[in-house]
Structure 1
């Protein structure tokens, strides 16, 4: 979930033909024009991270990062400053998955938490023959039920980049497929997903990069229903007194292999943070806090205008 700093977001997105972005890897490999564009991107290290290190702004920002190449990048007219007064209304009652842990009231934190930075020396084997015992399968089922039970989620995040720099902000989720990450000033970046695409906007540069939501790790957090062991390539499930950790591996024929580490509280079962590791081994960590599942964000805040890059009303 990179995307806020000048050195952490993709500023070298490749243009596409007028008929729109290509959707499959095989077609992209066969298209020599796209290969030349990708080689240019590789030289600038843009594709080494992509949205996989935004997975974040991905907070799920955030939250934010990806292995996907941007579908479109265009200059924009000078944009007006973002409006942070985002209206929220009480969420309608909803049914939770029967297996989901009951949500407990959590006192609001007045100071951001300190993200847990993974050991850079860790080495997770990527075996296609990975098997899990009954306890690990039960843990994966519990996390899957928790993620599936979330329909709206509002909170704050702290993002730590590979260089140790920290950024903060607010995030808003409405499932399926919608999320918005707003970085605190002086960062000019915001990230919006509307259910189909993800855009990363830079108000200072007046640019907007577009990515397919289906090719970003955000889909795991934004899916209406998910079974981690069935729908993802889980390579590790571990637990201790503080956290339950699940590592998901993403393989891309062009970009390489990336990983997503999800961490949940051992006691309350809530999402605490995630870490995206790009194909070069660089980590971007996003910790979330002050989570609220009772607020419903204004749907207009997830609307993407592909001709006007100003922040939508909210």
Structure 2
């Protein structure tokens, strides 16, 4: 302080020390005296000539846009499965093909064992067992309470009624069942083919046989359209009476007992 005052005193003596230098020295002396920045200086900091630039706020990250869905290039699995499982369109059989298949079926069915249900023209229902041994042997064994038996032994066909104890015998050629009894079947040669009907449920071959007993009989042969196995037949006799026979559980491999086809009283 003393030194500062001395300098100030010399200012008055020396013209080389200007007013600015003296003021600066006085400020330095005052700062040293108070030991730091005075309170008025902290409360009132000097204003800068230019405003300080504002700090730039950090840029927000861009929100990614969701991908735009594109149309699938292939069909969904469910649609492909449905398309592959779609049933094939039905194609009806023509007459020649149906007859050829029927001939092949009858000629190859050497034996038959199965169940049958018969419905007469009066609506009465009977059932029983069917046995066939080609050529010429056949047996319809009716279940009780029916009393009929029909047996062919290779030459003749007998219809026996146990209730009345009567028996009618016919030549096999006179019966409408040639398709079950002949060794080799050719429907186009053996009978007259009237019509062939084909739909998804059945193939029906309608034939007429003029050689049956009493006149012309009409027979509808009904086949499974896929396996082409005989399902039923319907016989309309010369008097117009209809008999429908349906087959079930048909076995073409089982060989019947030959005794079933004997025209004796014990087997009728």
Q: Deviations over 1:235-283 (max 9, x none)?
A: 1111110111111112369833320110001111110000011223221
> 1:37-186 residue pairs with structure 2 within 5 A?
135-186=94-145
Matched, 1:187 2:143: no
Task: Determine the C-alpha separation between the residues in 2 that align with 1:292 and 1:280.
Answer: 33
| Matched residue, 1:281 | 240
Deviation at 1:229, TM superposition (A): 1.3
Task: Determine the C-alpha separation between the residues in 2 that align with 1:265 and 1:183.
Answer: 25
Structure 2 residues without counterparts, runs of 5 or longer = 1-92
The structure whose residues are more often helix, as a share, is: 2
Deviation at 1:228, TM superposition (A): 1.1
Say whether the 8 Å CA contact 1:242–1:267 is kept in structure 2: no
| Matched residue, 2:204 | 245
Does 1 or 2 have the higher relative contact order (CA < 8 Å, sep 6+)? 1
Matched positions, count: 177
Q: Give the alignment's TM-score, normalised by structure 2.
A: 0.63
Q: SS of 1:276's equivalent?
A: strand
| Matched residue, 2:189 | 230
Say whether the 8 Å CA contact 2:173–2:212 is kept in structure 1: no
Q: CA RMSD in A?
A: 1.9
Task: Determine the C-alpha separation between the residues in 2 that align with 1:293 and 1:135.
Answer: 26
Q: SS of 2:101's equivalent?
A: helix
Q: Quick one: which of 208, 212, 222 aligns to 2:167?
A: 208
Q: 1:140 to 1:254 in 2, by over 3 A?
A: closer
Q: SS of 1:296's equivalent?
A: coil
Say whether the 8 Å CA contact 2:174–2:212 is kept in structure 1: no
| Matched residue, 2:214 | 255
Q: 1:253 to 1:213 in 2, by over 3 A?
A: closer
Q: 1:201 to 1:264 in 2, by over 3 A?
A: same
Say whether the 8 Å CA contact 1:147–1:221 is kept in structure 2: yes
Task: Determine the C-alpha separation between the residues in 1 that align with 2:161 and 2:242.
Answer: 22
Q: 1:235 to 1:150 in 2, by over 3 A?
A: same
Structure 1 residues without counterparts, runs of 5 or longer = 1-133
**Range with greater deviation from structure 2 (219-228 or 141-150):** 219-228
